[in-house]
Amino acid sequence: MVPRACTEKLAAALGIARRVEWLEGLGHYTAMAALPEVLDRMVGFFAEDLPPGLRIQPPPPAARTPVQVVLSLVKEATDLLLSEPSPGRCHLADVTVTLNLDRDKGYEGRLLLIRGWQGRFKLQCKLPVVGEVALGQGSYPWMVSAKKTVFKGMKGAPPTPGDPLAFVDPEHLLRIRMIAGAAAGAALAPDVLEPLVAVAEEPAADGRRTIRLTLKGRNRGTLTLALQSDARTPSMLTFEFPGARGKIAFRGWQRNTPAHEAAFDPPPGLPAQEVEAGALVRMFSAMFNFAMENAE
Amino acid sequence: MRTLGKTTVLLLASLLVLTFLPGLAAGQQDLRIVARDPAGHGLLCRLGGKTILLVAGTPDQMGAAHGTLLKEKVRQLHERVLYLVGGADSIQSGVWFPDRMAEIERRTVPHIPPRLLAECDALSRAVGVSPREGRQANLFPERFHCSGVAVRGKATRDGSVLHARVLDYMRDINLQNAAAVVVFLPEGRNTWMSLGYAGFVGTVTAMNEKGLAIGEMGGGGVGDWDGMPMSFLLRDVMERAATVEEGLEILRTTPRTCEYYYVLSDKAKNMAGVHADARQITILRPGQQKPPLPFVPEDTVLISGPGRAEALSQRLQQHYGKIDVSTMIEILKRPVAMSSNLHDAIFAPETLDMWFADAGKHTPACDEPYAHCNLAALVRFYEQATSPKTARH
């Protein structure tokens, strides 16, 4: 490793001090989180010198390799949390989950996540014990109780929606960025996945492209991904690990699709109580931190 | 020679016992200072994998030291109890949790000794949160489902008192990440230690320098908040009482809140079980039968919930007359402890020893290794470490 001070001294001696870009807050390993951005910049740099006729268009979805398809979906999943869509647009994931654990009773749930612009979002899910949960942020943060009362965070709310994850542990977001970075890196060099997972095309079921992932090493298990007819949108993911098996059915999966402001509002017609916006945002962050802690 | 021989045998026996007791490999000698309160009123230490905090002085000084030395842990704990549990509670109940906490604060504050509020507020200032947040995190309504047991005389291997408490409460939200043994050395009051959590100035599991131990179990009665909050009430017992009878007197005469059960024991081998709510208090003496509790053997006091109480009673009878710390650790295992088991403690009030275990990330406390500390040794350590003549850095 080259200490920063040495790099700066060398850059100054070469006369390129202003052109050195630092990945602030990242380290030797966590720099992976910035990989997508770094790759984009590097590709853009070299592409500047190419004549227009030589520029390579991305392959059509059906022509992409199984690894490319899988990594692209990993990137899209991380984008739900990391990348903000353009104004008036949203990322959307609507899934039903069925999970069967060997030593526990089965679990079925549904999750709808709409990620909008400037902090707008809506999350609806059905969880064991708690039941139906709905929360979000349009022009203000809100949360719906199981008794169908809407807590509207209108007290002390800023004029424009703030960051709903303002109190999230930055380490958690960094981890998600690292996954996105690793997926981007692996897309360029799929061989790095070889020791970890075998990715293979399966015979198409119902005309849908199907990809099978077999994990190697300590965490053995299989995942089977069925795509929709466009060969890029997920349709169903079934998985089987020691002690657990289940499936995720994708009811909706869209990126940067048009969205109306009302998509981020609480359900209409329910009794409402105005509460402190700050307390709601702290609750959102606490829930996110807890979910990430348990996902580790 | 005869005395020397006896001492030698005792020492050897003690060494043997210490060698085979779980968790005792991490003994007092492993206690190391991690940080010092810049104002000179606290030490943050590690004992094996455990956090030990020692604070001394006035309420302001102790609160500030606590907040300064455990700032991040306190913030994490506030997030968990006020915002994660608060959010889930709001969703489930339809009642806005901060409103509920504000009501509890309004109704309990007139009954809380000013010294405890001062300590709580000083802690909040040091952490950088509002006094309201600090107080409400301490008034967090406990709905514990726990077990407590004390044994002595015929029940134990050597006749000494052993007092165990099982705290079954929300292991799933990782409160164990903020676990700490906190030793309080308040000016003019009893020194005591709490098996507690960063930011909590009250207690649910504690023993004081006089050899009085107490553990709490939750009941019902939510809404009876015109009294001293349970965790502060137990602190008051620790700081003012020296015996079970003095502790019972404080419990009797203080305005109480919701329904709780307690087990108390002291170094004079007195023990009691208590069922108390805002309106009444019932004392159970050793061996006293009280339906719906199952059979309570002579020289024991036990309190637990349906199913678990029966298992506890059976195990006590099975090991009757042979109970020591190792046996008690086995007695507390599931199904006496629940899957939510957050911490367990076994007190020896006569020697001021405490064996304790906190939940792991995926395991109840009863399945985790126990650590050991001794209140008198911790106090000596603090005094030596903070004395200008002997301070170690």
- B115-138 pLDDT, tens digit per residue, is 999 999 999 999 999 999 999 999
Residues of A in contact with B79 (CB under 8 A): 167, 282, 285-286, 289
pLDDT at B24 over 70: no
Report the range of poorest mean pLDDT among A116-120, A242-246, B48-52, B364-368: A242-246
pLDDT at B10 over 50: no
Please give the average per-residue pLDDT across B32-42, as a whole number: 96
Q: How large is the angle between the packed helices B114-127 and B71-78, nearest 10 degrees?
A: 100
Residues of B in contact with A287 (CB under 8 A): 84, 87
Please give the average per-residue pLDDT across B246-270, as a whole number: 96
Please give the average per-residue pLDDT across B336-346, as a whole number: 94
Q: Is B157 exposed, middle or buried (0-12, 13-18, 19+ CB in 10 A)?
A: middle
Report the range of poorest mean pLDDT among A215-224, A284-293, B296-305: A215-224
Looking at residue A260, its pLDDT comes to 92
CB A141 within 8 A of CB A281: yes
Looking at residue B15, its pLDDT comes to 37
Strand, helix or coil for residue A61: helix
Looking at residue A59, its pLDDT comes to 63
Name the closest residue on chain A to residue B90, using Cα atoms.
A145
Higher pLDDT, B162 or A106: B162
Alpha-carbon distance B73 to B69, whole Å? Answer: 9
Looking at residue A13, its pLDDT comes to 93
Q: How large is the angle between the packed helices B59-69 and B71-78, nearest 10 degrees?
A: 90
Whether B92 sits inside 8 A of A148 (CB atoms) is no
- CATH superfamily label, B147-177+214-372: Penicillin V Acylase; Chain A (3.60.60.10)
Q: How far is CA B221 from CA A99, B21, B52, B143, B335, in A?
A: 37, 39, 34, 10, 25
The 10s digit of each residue's pLDDT in B180-216 is: 999 999 999 999 999 999 999 999 999 999 999 999 9
- The first and second tokens of residue B73, run together, are 């842990």
Looking at residue B27, its pLDDT comes to 45
- pLDDT-derived band at A25, boundaries 50, 70, 90: confident
Neighbours of A53 (CB within 10 A): 5
The 10s digit of each residue's pLDDT in B47-72 is: 989 999 999 999 999 999 999 999 99
Percent pLDDT > 90 in chain B is 78
Higher pLDDT, A192 or B196: B196
pLDDT at A76 over 80: yes
- Which residue in the block uniquely carries the two structure tokens 């089977």? A224
User: In angstroms, what is the C-alpha Rg of chain B?
Assistant: 20
Alpha-carbon distance B102 to B87, whole Å? Answer: 15
The 10s digit of each residue's pLDDT in A110-136 is: 899 999 999 999 999 887 666 788 999
Q: Does B174 touch chain A (CB under 8 A)?
A: yes
Alpha-carbon distance B22 to B360, whole Å? Answer: 16
Alpha-carbon distance B41 to B59, whole Å? Answer: 11
- pLDDT-derived band at A58, boundaries 50, 70, 90: low
Please state which CATH class domain A61-295 belongs to.
Answer: mainly beta
Residues of A in contact with B173 (CB under 8 A): 290
Looking at residue B102, its pLDDT comes to 92
Nearest Cβ partner of A147 from B79, B82, B94? Answer: B94
CA distance B373 to chain A (A): 30
What global pTM score does this model have?
0.82
Report the range of poorest mean pLDDT among B24-33, B257-266, B274-283: B24-33
User: In angstroms, what is the C-alpha Rg of chain A?
Assistant: 22
Name the closest residue on chain B to residue A131, using Cα atoms.
B92
Looking at residue B222, its pLDDT comes to 74
Name the closest residue on chain A to residue B86, using Cα atoms.
A283
Give domain limits for chain A. Answer: 4-54, 61-295
Looking at residue B12, its pLDDT comes to 37
Please give the average per-residue pLDDT across B313-333, as a whole number: 97
Nearest Cβ partner of B79 from A146, A149, A289? Answer: A289
Looking at residue B6, its pLDDT comes to 38
Alpha-carbon distance A66 to A210, whole Å? Answer: 9
Percent pLDDT > 70 in chain A is 93
- pLDDT-derived band at A208, boundaries 50, 70, 90: confident
Whether A286 sits inside 8 A of B84 (CB atoms) is yes
Please give the average per-residue pLDDT across B5-18, as a whole number: 38
pLDDT at B317 over 60: yes
Q: Is A277 exposed, middle or buried (0-12, 13-18, 19+ CB in 10 A)?
A: buried
Looking at residue A123, its pLDDT comes to 94
Looking at residue B20, its pLDDT comes to 37
Single-letter code of the amino acid located at A235: S
pLDDT at A223 over 60: yes
Q: What is the pLDDT of chain A when averaged over all its residues?
A: 85
Whether A287 sits inside 8 A of B174 (CB atoms) is no
